[in-house]
Structure formats: C-alpha cells, structure tokens
Structure 1
Amino acid sequence: MRFMVFVRSPSPLAALHGDALRHAGVLLDAGDLVPGACGVSGYWLIDVRDHEEAVERVKRIGLPACVVEIRQVAVV
C-alpha cells in the first residue's frame, strides 16, 4: 500500500529525514513544498504493508515540533 506523509515544520525536513526511509527500501519519492503560513512543508511517498507500518516508520524518524499527516494513496 502506498501512503503520502505530509510534514509541516519550522525548517525543511523531507529531503533530510527521508534517508532513513530510503535505506529501509520503502521511499518512492520525497520533496519540500513551497513555504506557507504554517512554516515549511514536505512530503514522503512510501510503499509499506499497511497504515500501522507507515505510522511506525514515521515514529522511528523522531520529528520534533512537526505536524504529520499520513494518507493512503489510491493506486489505479
């Protein structure tokens, strides 16, 4: 299953912390989005077994002072 992980933080994090996901072999894409009113946003597109695994992998990264949203991506 594919999941999009959105991260909002005071500084760019997506490319930096995506290395842990890349080494685990689950990262499909990563990038930083245009800064907005809530700070810097970034995303990771990951391929894992289920939502629980997605949550566990993001928890292992340890993102301080971030807002994280994980959504399943429909694969057509």
Structure 2
Amino acid sequence: MRFMVFVRSPIPLAALHGEALVRAGVLLDAGDLVPDACGVSGYWLIDVRDAAEAVERVKRIHLPACVVEIRQVAVV
C-alpha cells in the first residue's frame, strides 16, 4: 500500500531524517513544497504493508515541532 506523508516543519524538510525510509527500502519519492506563512512543507511517498506500518515508520523519525499527516494513496 502506498501512503503520502505530509510534514509541516519550521525547518526545510531536506534537513529532517528521511534516510531511515531510504535504508528501509520503502521511500518512493520525496520533495519540498513551496514555503508558506506557517513554515516549510514537504512530503514522502512510501510503500509499506499497511497503515500501521506507515505510522510506525514515521514515528521512528525525529520530527521536532512538526505537524505530520499520513494519507493512503489510491493506486489505479
């Protein structure tokens, strides 16, 4: 199953520790979004077994002062 992880952060997403997702072999894509008044946003597209695994993998990443949203992606 694929999940989009949106992260809103006071620092650029590239500075966050997404390497764990790369090492685990679940990261399909990542990128920064245009900064807005609330800070910097970015995303990770991951491929995992289920929602529980998606949550567990994101919990392992140190994301200080970040707002995180995990949404399942419909694969057509």
Do 1:8 and 1:42's aligned partners in 2 also have CA atoms closer than 8 Å? yes
Pairing of 1:1-76 with structure 2 (within 5 A): 1-14=1-14, 16-76=16-76
- Distance in 2 of aligned mates of 1:50 and 1:37: 33
- TM-score (normalizing by structure 2): 0.94
* CA distance in 2 between partners of 1:55 and 1:37 (Å): 27
Q: Taking structure 1 as the reference length, what is the TM-score of the superposition? A: 0.94
Higher helix content, 1 or 2: 1
Runs of at least 5 residues in structure 2 that lack an aligned partner in the other structure: none
Tell me the CA shift for residue 30 of structure 1: 0.3
- Percent identity, aligned pairs only, is 89
SS at match of 2:18: helix
- Aligned-pair distance for 1:35? 0.1
Residues 14, 6 of structure 1: alpha-carbon distance in 2 compared, 3 angstrom cutoff: farther
Deviation at 1:37, TM superposition (A): 1.5
Distance 2:64 2:23 in 1: 21
The total of aligned residue pairs comes to 76
Q: Which runs of 5+ in 1 are unaligned?
A: none
Q: Alignment RMSD, CA only?
A: 1.1
